[in-house]
């Protein structure tokens, strides 16, 4: 009888252990994150153009017991916002501009005083503009009788003209090449446009100074390398590279390997890579161009 009692006790203990092992472990209750909707706010994965404003309205809520103590925002795993809080609920509105990256992952994290976390992410895919690529293009300076010196990028084409031909296409002329090396102007090989009002270079009735329609092209010298220019496949880097606060009406002292961003009279933006320059007033310059469609 004693042995039976001991056996029953062992069986009862084993049953309790099994029941205990199968009992559901609720664990800690984490806080929650919610993307709030509204005009212009992003609540799910989406696409955006370069420079578009990305708005996020994020609400964090505790588990009702443990206060929220931290709210963080990461852009592609880089911490960009790190806020210390101490409340049961928190709401923040954040914005950024779409970068040149093909994909951005925005991660939002809230942590409570017990160390419990809630995390959610939104992926922004770049919806960038298509480009046309031209080159190599050779333009001749003012005394070059072999290579045409004026160029148009109208109608998604690259067309070169002599000075006389260009006079009859004034509304289309975007750039011309000249060479100047005087005591007062060491421009060397230079790209400009009729609206730059360059004087003392071209002569004759068809000179750009006699144009009725004078397009302006603005140039910005960039820090892009030739290899980076070659890798450009859409207009994001083009737009990023054009600094409106540092624009000029000519690109002077052209040097092989230099990369310029430019804006045409039409409003289109592009990049220009200098390949080579030769000669002086009768010389030439060779370059490649990538421009918005």
Q: What digits encode the pLDDT tens for the residues 141-164?
A: 999 999 999 999 999 999 999 999
Q: What digits encode the pLDDT tens for the residues 74-122?
A: 999 999 999 999 999 999 999 999 999 999 999 999 999 999 999 999 9
Q: What digits encode the pLDDT tens for the residues 116-125?
A: 999 999 999 9
pTM listed for this prediction: 0.82
Structural domains of the chain, ranges and CATH numbers in brackets: 32-126 (2.60.40.10), 131-292 (no CATH)
Contacts of 141 (CB under 8 A, 6+ apart): 149, 177, 178, 179, 189, 279, 280, 281, 282, 283, 284, 285
């Amino acid at each position: 009888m004693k042995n039976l009692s001991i056996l029953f006790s062992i069986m009862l203990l084993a049953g309790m252990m099994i029941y205990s092992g199968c009992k559901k472990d609720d664990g800690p209750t984490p806080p929650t994150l919610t993307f709030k909707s509204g005009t212009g706010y992003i609540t799910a994965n989406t696409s955006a153009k370069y420079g578009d404003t990305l708005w996020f309205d994020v609400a964090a809520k505790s588990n009702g017991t443990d206060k929220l103590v931290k709210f963080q925002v990461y852009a592609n795993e880089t911490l960009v916002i790190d806020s210390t809080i101490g409340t049961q609920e928190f709401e923040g509105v954040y914005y950024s501009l779409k970068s040149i990256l093909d994909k951005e992952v925005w991660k939002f994290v809230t942590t409570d005083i017990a160390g419990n976390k809630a995390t959610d992410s939104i992926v922004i895919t770049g919806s960038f503009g298509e480009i046309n690529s031209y080159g190599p293009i050779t333009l001749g300076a003012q005394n070059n009788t072999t290579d045409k010196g004026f160029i148009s990028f109208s109608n998604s084409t690259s067309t070169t003209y002599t000075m006389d031909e260009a006079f009859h296409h004034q509304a289309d002329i975007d750039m011309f090449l000249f060479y100047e090396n005087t005591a007062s102007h060491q421009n060397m090989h230079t790209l400009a446009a009729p609206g730059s009002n360059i004087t003392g270079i071209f002569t004759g009735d068809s000179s750009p100074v006699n144009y009725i329609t004078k397009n302006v092209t603005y140039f910005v010298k960039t820090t892009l390398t030739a290899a980076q220019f070659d890798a450009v496949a859409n207009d994001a880097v083009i737009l990023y590279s054009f600094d409106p606060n540092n624009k000029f009406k000519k690109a002077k002292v052209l040097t092989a390997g230099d990369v310029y961003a430019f804006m045409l009279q039409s409003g289109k933006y592009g990049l220009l890579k200098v390949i080579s320059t030769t000669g002086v007033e009768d010389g030439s310059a060779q370059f490649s161009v990538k421009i918005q469609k």
